[in-house]
Structure 1
Amino acid sequence: MVITGASSGVGLAAAVRFAAQGDQVVVVGRTTERLDAAVARVRAAGGGREPGRFQADFERLAQVRDLAAYLLDTYPVIDVLANNAGGMVGGYRRTVDGYEATIQGNHLAPFLLTTLLRERLTGGRVVNTASRVHTQGRPDPDDFTGDPEKFRWGRAYGAAKSANILFAAEAARRWPDITSVSFHPGVVRTNFGEGAVRLVYRFAPFLTTPEKAGALLVWLATTPAAELTDGGYYVGHKLTRPAAHAGDREAATALWDASAAAVGV
């Protein structure tokens, strides 16, 4: 089980649950201190079994390629890839690769990782953490850089989460030998986003616990494939129709082709 964004929140909760079930887990995180702490928790949950670990910043595509190389060199089979890394960016930021940070961290980097691991995932599953916030924005396959003057963090995040849903649906069509789904984890109490956004996700009273959201991720990763809809978007345990722009087949195809060109695969 490879889980990105596993050093806190939903990803860590899922990693702990997988380890407690006896699964071999690879914990992927961005910062050393949080990754160390996460690995210790996953190790304890697994009764002392050492998890895999890798540090990677998804705002650097070179590090995503390094992660893929490590996984390919180390694991002959990958049963589950949980594309959970990402988050809200409070202001416009362009990555070293030349793309707006929200769309790169939440979509382009996971797209690259999944594509590089594609053959190793045969017969397995890809679970993409999306959001109901996808209703607030749509990705532009002709422009992953964006305009700093027009940047709005909510719209950018909504576009990235729409991209997650579109990617899962298109992957199901192109890769029928891999089960691919996306899901809304709830509004989770976690260290999420930046600045004022992070405060909301830590202290608002209506939030879902990481453990509940992590359990949903594990359910999607382990439920028999015949009981899921390949390419589907789930809210809780229920298959749900996304907003029209996130369910558009032509948009999914255009996004896939543009993403492949952008990341060079």
Structure 2
Amino acid sequence: MFALLVSALAVLVSIPLSIFVAAPCIRKYIAGGVCKSTAKLNGKVVVITGANTGIGKETARDLAGRGARVILACRDMVKAEAAASEIQATTGNQEVFAKKLDLADTRSIREFAENFLKEEKALHILINNAGVMLCPYSKTTDGFEMHLGVNHLGHFLLTFLLIERLKQSAPARIVNLSSLAHHGGKIRFHDLQGEKCYNRHLAYSHSKLANILFTRELAKRLQGTGVTANAVHPGVVYSELTRQSSLMYRLTRMFYFLLKTPVEGAQTSVYCAVAEELETVSGKYFSDCAPAYVSPQGRNDETARRLWEVSCELLGIQWE
């Protein structure tokens, strides 16, 4: 009996010991790819939505460190100003600014774009990073379901309003943050706003699929302009994105060591924004700084074209 107890204790001790020994390998696997480009961005202008925290903030820090003039386009100006000051201090780059942008309000999007076009003569990199996740059913100021309205339609409108400046500044790049969750998404044109049937997990997946399809159609329409558009999956990152779900919030904090840090999560966004080898690559989807598999739904050109047309109708714009 004593021998059995000793053996059991030895097993229990060996489990955390094994995890401790394997920890460096586990962390390396979780971290994923790293952007190895040393490209400098002096003289380049960058706009990053949702850059006051998490992945967006670390993307902004990296690009500011490369010398870019970086605009943090954020809803919460208190956090945005604090983030801008912190990035200025850590990078030594004083060309980092916070500007008001609420993607849940088309009036705010238009005001941001109007002010940007008045103040900035160039735009070389647009990173559509901001997003919401697992929201209870709710609507934006304009009556759009929140996931679709912020994650897709808000960035669709912002890109539309800034696209000519991007073309004028070519070569230029657009980076859209999607997610592995797009594999579970479906564009339900008969119930695009989730009014008939709503599930917040599926709503998030649908919006991330919309990001993929938007990128695909946008890349086709930008051929020959010198502007590229690519989508990225940042990985499962320890951030504030799960704040709308108390269960997911608790789980991410319990298992934070199995998640990417915001710095690690920002690597693919940075890669798509600066890597020299991607200068002419467009319409692709990346994860861990490498091409990744897109779901069959995300490769459907007819769905992409129809979603484009419906998005224009909902926003009241004409984008040829």
TM-score for the superposition, normalised by structure 1 = 0.94
**Structure 1 residues 158 and 132, CA, compared in 2 at 3 Å: closer, same or farther?**
same
Q: Does 1:139 align with 2:200?
A: no
Aligned equivalent of 1:159 = 206
Superposed CA offset, 1:139-159 (max 9, x none): 234544222x62111100000
Q: How far apart are residue 198 of structure 1 and its match?
A: 3.3
Q: How far apart are residue 43 of structure 1 and its match?
A: 1.4
Q: Partner letter of residue 301 of structure 2?
A: R
Q: How far apart are residue 202 of structure 1 and its match?
A: 4.2
Q: How far apart are residue 77 of structure 1 and its match?
A: 0.9
Give the SS at the match of 2:230.
strand
Q: How far apart are residue 227 of structure 1 and its match?
A: 5.8
Query: What's the C-alpha RMSD, in Å, of the aligned pairs?
Result: 1.6
**Structure 1 residues 48 and 169, CA, compared in 2 at 3 Å: closer, same or farther?**
closer
In structure 2, C-alpha distance between the alignment counterparts of 1:64 and 1:45, rounded to whole Å? 29
- Kept after mapping to 1: 8 A contact 2:125/2:174: yes
Larger-Rg structure: 2
**Structure 1 residues 103 and 24, CA, compared in 2 at 3 Å: closer, same or farther?**
same
Give the SS at the match of 2:174.
strand
- Kept after mapping to 2: 8 A contact 1:56/1:63: yes
Q: Does 1:236 align with 2:236?
A: no
Runs of 4+ in 1 over 2 A off after TM superposition: 139-145, 197-205, 224-229
Aligned equivalent of 1:2 = 47
Uncovered stretches (5+) of structure 2, i.e. residues with no partner = 1-45
Q: How does 1:77-226 map to 2 (within 5 A)?
A: 77-122=122-167, 123=170, 124-147=172-195, 150-176=197-223, 177=225, 178-193=227-242, 194-196=244-246, 197-204=248-255, 205-224=257-276, 226=278
Q: Does 1:73 align with 2:73?
A: no
- Kept after mapping to 2: 8 A contact 1:27/1:51: yes
In structure 1, C-alpha distance between the alignment counterparts of 2:253 and 2:120, rounded to whole Å? 35
240-249 or 101-110, larger mean C-alpha shift: 240-249
Uncovered stretches (5+) of structure 1, i.e. residues with no partner = none
Superposed CA offset, 1:28-63 (max 9, x none): 111122112211122113315141221222111111
- Kept after mapping to 1: 8 A contact 2:134/2:245: no
73-82 or 138-147, larger mean C-alpha shift: 138-147
132-141 or 181-190, larger mean C-alpha shift: 132-141
Q: How many residues align?
A: 264
Q: Partner letter of residue 158 of structure 1?
A: S
Aligned equivalent of 1:251 = 303
- Kept after mapping to 2: 8 A contact 1:17/1:215: no
Give the SS at the match of 2:99.
strand
**Structure 1 residues 157 and 250, CA, compared in 2 at 3 Å: closer, same or farther?**
same
**Structure 1 residues 258 and 142, CA, compared in 2 at 3 Å: closer, same or farther?**
farther
Q: Partner letter of residue 262 of structure 1?
A: L
**Structure 1 residues 203 and 35, CA, compared in 2 at 3 Å: closer, same or farther?**
farther
| Larger fraction in helix | 2
Give the SS at the match of 1:25.
strand
Q: Does 1:24 align with 2:69?
A: yes
| Residue 109 (structure 2) aligned to one of 44, 64, 85 | 64
TM-score for the superposition, normalised by structure 2 = 0.78
